[in-house]
A and B are shown apart, each in its own frame.
Chain A
Amino acid sequence: MKEKFEDVITKNKDSIYRICKIYASEPYEPMDLFQEVTFQAWKSYERFRGDSNVSTWIYRVALNVCMQVKNKYDKVNQLTSKLDAIQLVMHEEKDTLQAERFAMLKTCIDQLNESDQSIIVLYLEDLPYREIASITGLSENHVAVKMKRIKAKLTQCMTQKPANHD
């Protein structure tokens, strides 16, 4: 039976938000993208027949919407206006070291090309190659070969960064 839309979003909201954080760039904040993803997912959910995992479906929507927003040629008024029902609460007391490490990871992901970015964020979300292949439209083998190269680049960047800060 098809899950309720609310359950899909609740279960995946942190993952969606992390992806939005990677794709957000001026003039949009991650929350703007999150709201857009939620709205587009809601519109599309009726057409979701359950022939793939619901997580595959929501990642596809999140990735496509984020990339599409980036590739809009008229960035003004292209997003739906704010959804007040979605609110973001910041916990300033949380681990700042973790935040710094994430910022470093984001910087390294930003240096990858768009295609590699889309693959690595899915990998970091712990999706198996089969699912990444289904989301991107590539073969599993293709994803595996690409992943090897992307992981090497990312690891190299992450290990170089702290040295640069010293």
Chain B
Amino acid sequence: MTEDILKQIWKGGSEKENITIDYQKLHEEMKSKLDHMDQQIKARDNREIGASLVGMAAFAYIGYDIPFFWSKIACGLMIGWFLFVIFRLKYQRKNESPDPATSLNDQLDHRKDYLIGQTNMIKSVLWWYILPPVLINALLFFGAGDPDAWDSLFSGMIPDTIIGKIGVMTLVVALNGYIYYLNKKAVKNQLNPLISNIEKTQKDLNTL
């Protein structure tokens, strides 16, 4: 079979289909989709920042109001942690969309870097997303003394017995443990195979 025949077969591959494009409508649609995507990103950012601000405000108030030293420290740490999480997520999302007009090799490099970044972020989730709030909560609960000494709307949040505190902490640990398990599973089942696939393509592409 000659190369010309192969090319002829290839070119005939779109013979049965005729694509029609209404360009005026297309421009309107694409512009509206782009606006919609921008709005979605802004809404997501606003939601995350809003939720963090509410959390920070609540902990700032509790930290100011609570009479127990270690619980005050815990509230300060929690505010710092909220700020760190916002920064970390924003930084991670910076490189999501490269220009699709770069060469295939560059595109694969970029895609691999992005997926490795995602993997590292998820792998390290224990140290920056799960352990800090667990430890800070432990400091908050166990650092608190007699709740009767604190006259506030929030005082009901703090269990007054050791058993109660251990119970609440067990729930917090179980919940965070589950989040950790889901993240590990995503790395193993989704990200690692994609990275291997990209590495294989890069190797195939650059090997004669």
Contact = CB atoms under 8 A, between A and B. Distances in A.
B92 interface: no
Contact of A115 (B1, B13, B25, B205): B205
A159 B99 CA distance: 39
B14 A6 contact: no
Interface of A: 6, 9-10, 13-14, 17-18, 21, 34, 38-44, 47-48, 57, 60-61, 63-65, 67-68, 71, 73-74, 80-81, 83-92, 94-95, 98-99, 101-102, 104-106, 113-116, 118, 121, 124-126, 134-138, 142, 145-146, 151, 154-155, 158-159
Interface in B1-55: 1, 3, 6-7, 9-26, 28-30, 33-34, 37
B104 A63 contact: yes
Q: How large is the interface on B (under 10, 10 to 19, 20 to 34, 35 or more residues)?
A: 35 or more
B26 A86 contact: yes
What 4 A-B pairs are tightest by C-beta distance, nearest first? A137-B105, A137-B103, A85-B26, A115-B204
B43 to A, nearest CB: 15
B162 interface: no
Given A102-B12, A126-B7, A65 B100 contact: yes
A142 B205 CA distance: 9
Given A67-B104, A86-B26, A91-B18, A145 B205 contact: no
Contacts of B11: 14, 18, 124
B14 A21 contact: yes
Contacts of B17: 17, 88-91
A135 B101 CA distance: 9
Contacts of A113: 200-201, 204
Interface string B183-208: 00010001100100110111011101
B103 A134 contact: yes
B168 to A, nearest CB: 33
Contact of B106 (A90, A91, A137): A137
A57 B100 CA distance: 9
A87 B20 contact: yes
Contacts, number: 176
Contact of A135 (B30, B103, B204): B103
Q: Per DSSP, are chain B's interface residues mostly helix, strand or loop, or mixed?
A: helix
A124 B204 CA distance: 19
Contact of A83 (B30, B101, B190, B198): B30
Contacts of A10: 21
Contact of B26 (A17, A83, A102, A125): A83
A95 B21 contact: no
A68 to B, nearest CB: 6
A43 B13 CA distance: 27
A113 B190 CA distance: 20
B111 interface: yes
A163 to B, nearest CB: 12
